[in-house]
Amino acid sequence: MKKYKIILICLVLVLLSTCLYAYAGIVGPVAAHPKYSVTVYAGPSTSYSSLYSVNTYNTVYVLEKEGSYYYIEYGNKRGYVPSGSLEPASSSGFSDVPYVSYNYKSAKIIEGVSAYYGGSSNYDEIGSVDTNEKVSLLKNDNDYAYIEYTVSSTRKKKRGYVPCDNVIKTNIIVNNQNNEAYHCTIKTNGNYLDSRYINAAEKLTKMVFNDKYLNNANYNYDYYLFGEYDSTYGYHEGIDVNDRKYGTEIYSLVTGDVVNNPGGSYGMIFIYDDSDNVTYIYEHCINIKVKKDDKVYAGKTIIAEEGDKGAPGNCHVHVQVVPGKRTYWENWMTGLDKHLKSLDPTYYIEKNYNNYSFK
φ/ψ of residue 231, rounded to 5? -65, -20
Task: Give pTM, 2 decimals.
Answer: 0.49
- Cβ-count burial of 103 within 10 angstroms (0-12 exposed, 13-18 middle, 19+ buried)? exposed
Q: Are residues 218 and 86 in the same domain?
A: no
Print burial letters for 115-149: b (CB count within 10 Å at least 16), e (below 16): bbbbbeeebeebbebeeebbbbbbebeeebbbbbb
Strands of the sheet containing 278-283, edge to edge, are 239-241, 317-323, 278-283, 269-273, 256-258, 295-296
The pLDDT score that the predictor gives to residue 175 is 28
At which of 121, 141, 166 does a domain end?
166
If asked whether residues 240 and 346 sit together in one domain, one would say: yes
Residues 191 and 315 in one domain: yes
The CATH number covering residue 39 comes to: 2.30.30.40
Residues 347 and 243 in one domain: yes
Distance in angstroms (rounded) separating the CA atoms of residues 342 and 184: 8
Domain that holds residue 158: 105-166
Q: Which amino acid is at 73?
A: E
- Count how many domains the chain has: 3
Q: Are 139 and 123 in contact (CB under 8 A)?
A: no
Same domain flag for 124 and 235: no
Do the domain assignments include residue 239? yes
Q: Which residues pair with 70 in a beta bridge?
A: 65, 81
User: Which residues are bridge partners to 65 per DSSP?
Assistant: 70, 99
Tell me the average pLDDT of the chain: 79
* Alpha helices, H only, the chain: 2-23, 195-208, 346-354
CA distance 84 to 69: 8
Domain annotation covers residue 152: yes
Q: What is the pLDDT of residues 261-308, one digit of tens each?
A: 999 999 999 999 999 999 999 999 999 999 999 999 999 999 999 998
In this predicted model, what pLDDT tens digit does every residue of 166-197 receive, in sequence order? Answer: 665 433 222 222 222 222 222 323 333 456 67
The verdict on 272 and 317 lying in the same domain is yes
Q: Is the pLDDT confidence value at 217 over 50? A: no
Q: Does residue 44 carry a pLDDT above 70? A: yes
Asked if 263 and 330 sit in the same domain, the reply is yes
CATH of the domain at 331: 2.70.70.10
